[in-house]
Structure 1
């Protein structure tokens, strides 16, 4: 028995335009109208579900209004369609529905694929980040994510997405994400393969797994965009990933994504906002495995350190250390397997240094460099951080010694974060540039592929 129509306004427009018994024809016209937005695959089943309460994305609604206006011979406003207030897709808004998340995914993946060569990014919006955290934490869970579409999606199809996510994660850790080629390949795959799967036919169980896989891919693309310095795009993808993780009923990965958002906020100097984000992540994770808790509390420590909350920072470090001690018996999901004692030591080095507790910070320096071989970018980041901490502590000789080791670690890495860390190191050392040793190190840093200097900093290097 067919479900009753709940969107009478949309049904009335379809009848008036001659599409009352021609839903497939309307879907074809809609696909044609939206041909510049990506590979739309709407069909009669899509129209069926829109009439019964599902809400398409903003861009799809605009194409609907255009298609209906052409048939009716008069302007049709989006508000006439009966779907309620339009969501601001592309502005880091947390989608209210699963359908909204699916349409948002297709739109921003398509935008990314088109804009990779336009050097367009935008600013990080801390207010929208906090709104996304609240939506993820407190919105009600989705009753079902099952869907009827054109393409049948199976568990085997979904598992292949996890394998691809692992591949991109490995590339990112080894080489950084400054190269647009890797992100272009990933964006193209998402548009051509993953978006059609999200619009396909699947049961609730397969759909939940598909949402989790799509969240993993979106989260990886977010981190790659962040590493490349594309901060608005990174925030778009974290927000999307949070909503997909919510649909996939995966609170642990959602907490992980929110921690990534907090890490991005720390990088950009939003320490207090980062603290609120990671607090929401820890609260939402609940009784999480030890490995997940270690990562979350380590991120909390960096947020508290930057915002000057000494007691909270040291308490978070203690919690992270205790959790890390339990990881052998409570390892957690595979995606958190990267987090090690070296990563925690790097976080301690960073946050204690921010609090000007340099002696305490430098106790963590040796362990911060005990990284697995595949963590090439992290090794470069930690080496530069060790050098910078020695410089801030007033030990110029040790700072120069560690800075001189950077060249071997930055080779082959393309990363805005590494460039920024090298720039911060050069800026910290520049007041001592009269020293021949420091001047030589500054000259070395200036010739590194990862080094970027402002005009004011480069004038100190002669």
Structure 2
């Protein structure tokens, strides 16, 4: 039995334009109108669901209005379509439904693919981040993920997306994410390949895997935006990826994304909010593999360190260390394989330094540099952090030695985070610039390529 039409405004416009009994024809014209935004594959079934409450994204509504305007011979505004206010790609709202999440995800990918994000970036919103954490943790699971669209999606199709995520992750770790071209290329691939898959035909089982893969790709794009210093854009990507992970039933990756939100909050100076996000991630992950547990508690430690909470910070570090000792018997998911003793040492160096426990922090320095060869950016970040810690501890000779290393190794890394860490180092050394050695190092840092 067909469901009753609930969007009378859209139904009336279709009828007036001659599409009342020609929904497939309207869908074809809509696909043509949106051809510059990707390979749309809407059909009569899409129109059926739009008439019965499903809400397309703003970019689709604009193409609908354009299509109807041509037939009616007058201007049609999106407000006439009867869909109500849509969630903009410029907000960090956690979508209530999976359809809204897919719409918003497609829109933000499309925006990035067109480089429009350069004009609309804003600031990190810790309140919205905490709301997203509540939605991810406590909203009921989606009743169904299956969908009927034009493109058949199989398990093999989804597996190719994981390989795509691995490729961009490797590029990011080697070279950083400062180049908008790299992110735009990735977004374009997502618009043209993943967007049509999300709107295709798949079973619940394939759909869950597809949502997990799309969440992983969105999460990587979020981290790249964060590394490039585009914090509002990064938060939007993370929020939507978190919703896709929820739809995919992947609580571990959802916890990882929430920890990434906490990491971003620490970077932006929201230590207390970051601690709440990290604890929500730990709680939501439940019984997790040891590497995941170690990563989550390390994030909590950095948050508590920035907030000046010594005891919780040290407890979180101890939990992370105990978990990392178990990693040999509890292998984790592929996406957490990057987290090593060196990453934990870097987190300890950061949070203990924030607590002014410089001697304890510097004991972690050798371990913080025991990184795999491909982690070029992390090596520079840790080296600069060691230099900053020495400078704050009053050892300018050691700080200058490490600063020279950093200046010589930052070439080719496009990362706002690296640039900011080096500025932090210059600030720590600046009070001693009367020293010829310090003055020389400050000039070397200023002269080294600042590719961001």
TM over 0.5: yes
The corresponding residue for 2:199 is: 199
* Cα distance in 2, alignment partners of residues 83 and 134 from structure 1: 27
Structure 1 window deviating more from structure 2 (266-275 vs 14-23): it is: 14-23
The corresponding residue for 2:247 is: 247
2:414–2:451 Cα contact (<8 Å) kept: no
Q: How far off its partner does 1:15 sit? A: 4.1
Q: How far off its partner does 1:175 sit? A: 0.9
TM normalised by structure 2 equals 0.93
Return closer, same or farther for 1:213/1:451 CA change in 2, 3 Å cut-off: closer
Structure 1 window deviating more from structure 2 (293-302 vs 25-34): it is: 25-34
Q: Secondary structure at the match of 1:404?
A: helix
* Structure 1 residues 277-316: aligned runs within 5 Å: 277-316=277-316
Q: How far off its partner does 1:289 sit? A: 1.3
* Structure 1 residues 166-181: aligned runs within 5 Å: 166-181=166-181
Structure 1 window deviating more from structure 2 (252-261 vs 38-47): it is: 38-47
Q: How far off its partner does 1:16 sit? A: 5.0
Q: How far off its partner does 1:49 sit? A: 2.5
* Structure 1 residues 102-251: aligned runs within 5 Å: 102-115=102-115, 118=118, 121-251=121-251
* Cα distance in 2, alignment partners of residues 252 and 79 from structure 1: 39
Q: How far off its partner does 1:79 sit? A: 6.2
Q: Does 1:425 align with 2:414?
A: no
The total of aligned residue pairs comes to 451
The corresponding residue for 1:354 is: 354
The corresponding residue for 2:273 is: 273
2:413–2:451 Cα contact (<8 Å) kept: no
* Cα distance in 2, alignment partners of residues 355 and 125 from structure 1: 25
1:422–1:450 Cα contact (<8 Å) kept: no
2:408–2:448 Cα contact (<8 Å) kept: no
Structure 1 window deviating more from structure 2 (341-350 vs 141-150): it is: 141-150
Q: How far off its partner does 1:411 sit? A: 2.2
* Structure 1 residues 30-41: aligned runs within 5 Å: 30-35=30-35, 37-41=37-41
Q: Secondary structure at the match of 2:114?
A: helix
Q: How far off its partner does 1:59 sit? A: 3.4
Deviations 1:256-288 (A, max 9, x none): 111111111111111122112112211211111
The corresponding residue for 2:397 is: 397
* Cα distance in 1, alignment partners of residues 388 and 118 from structure 2: 34
* Cα distance in 2, alignment partners of residues 98 and 451 from structure 1: 38
Structure 2 residue runs without a partner (length 5+): none
* Cα distance in 2, alignment partners of residues 247 and 70 from structure 1: 38
Q: How far off its partner does 1:321 sit? A: 0.9
* Cα distance in 2, alignment partners of residues 163 and 139 from structure 1: 30
Q: Does 1:387 align with 2:370?
A: no
* Cα distance in 1, alignment partners of residues 393 and 360 from structure 2: 11
* Cα distance in 2, alignment partners of residues 225 and 395 from structure 1: 35
The corresponding residue for 1:5 is: 4
Deviations 1:309-362 (A, max 9, x none): 111111111111111111111121111011011100100110111111111111
The corresponding residue for 1:325 is: 325
TM normalised by structure 1 equals 0.91
Deviations 1:36-74 (A, max 9, x none): 544432211211223344332233345445555665678
Q: How far off its partner does 1:416 sit? A: 0.7
Return closer, same or farther for 1:77/1:181 CA change in 2, 3 Å cut-off: closer
* Cα distance in 2, alignment partners of residues 163 and 451 from structure 1: 28
Over aligned residues, Cα RMSD in angstroms?
2.2
* Cα distance in 1, alignment partners of residues 100 and 48 from structure 2: 16
Return closer, same or farther for 1:137/1:80 CA change in 2, 3 Å cut-off: farther
Q: How far off its partner does 1:306 sit? A: 0.8
2:7–2:52 Cα contact (<8 Å) kept: no
Structure 1 residue runs without a partner (length 5+): 453-462
